[in-house]
Amino acid sequence: MTLAFIASMPGPTPSPLTAASMIAAVVLCSTAGEVLTAAAMKSIGDLDDIRAHSGMKGAIRAVITSPLFFAGVSFLALAFFSLLFALNHLNLSLVAPASASLTLVTNAIAGKVFLRENVDRRRWTAAVLVCIGVYLLAH
């Protein structure tokens, strides 16, 4: 609803290149945020174990004292604001499906490269299917 409100604000239509770079900024920031957050959670370890050992407070402390987690959340916040910026200039029906579906594919690549996750054929298929599905659903 908030996004639709921002998208409704008038403005001149940007060129395709500007539009593409706005969407690219959203996708890059969100991928960086997801990868950093995932790396933070992996380095902290299984939260269920930490909670069983040192309680809910211990688990919360373990998360919010991680510098990687803060870097991740900052990039996620940056992704959100660049999404708002893009929506200010472009249509919601273009930005929402494009950024949501592209993020899934870039995350599969980033997960393989930076997190050294085992992205096998099964996961590639899933990423591509969900990517097309999200695009169709949000379009």
Partner 1 sequence: MKPLPAISLAHPAELVISLVGAVFTPWVAAGIALLIGFFASYLTALSWADLTFVLPATAFGNVIVALLSRYWLHEPISLARWAGIVLITVGVGFVAQGPSRTESPAELEAVREVIAK
Binding site for partner 1 (CB under 8 A): 1-2, 5, 34-35, 37-38, 41-42, 44-48, 63, 104, 107-108, 111-112, 115-120, 122-123, 125-130, 132-139
Distance between CA atoms of 84 and 6, rounded to whole angstroms?
7
Find the shortest distance in angstroms from Cβ 15 to partner 1: 25
Indicate the Cα dihedral angle 11, 21, 78, 50, nearest 10°. 140
Alpha carbon 16 to chain centroid, angstroms: 23
Q: Which is nearer to partner 1, 89 or 112 (CB)?
A: 112
Q: Which is nearer to partner 1, 15 or 118 (CB)?
A: 118
Find the shortest distance in angstroms from Cβ 93 to partner 1: 12
Q: Which is nearer to partner 1, 2 or 16 (CB)?
A: 2
80 and 27 Cβ atoms separated by less than 8 Å:
no
Find the shortest distance in angstroms from Cβ 81 to partner 1: 15
Find the shortest distance in angstroms from Cβ 125 to partner 1: 5
Q: Which is nearer to partner 1, 21 or 133 (CB)?
A: 133
Q: Could you tell me the CA-to-CA distances from 66 to 14, 104, 105 in Å, in that order?
A: 39, 25, 27
135 and 102 Cβ atoms separated by less than 8 Å:
no
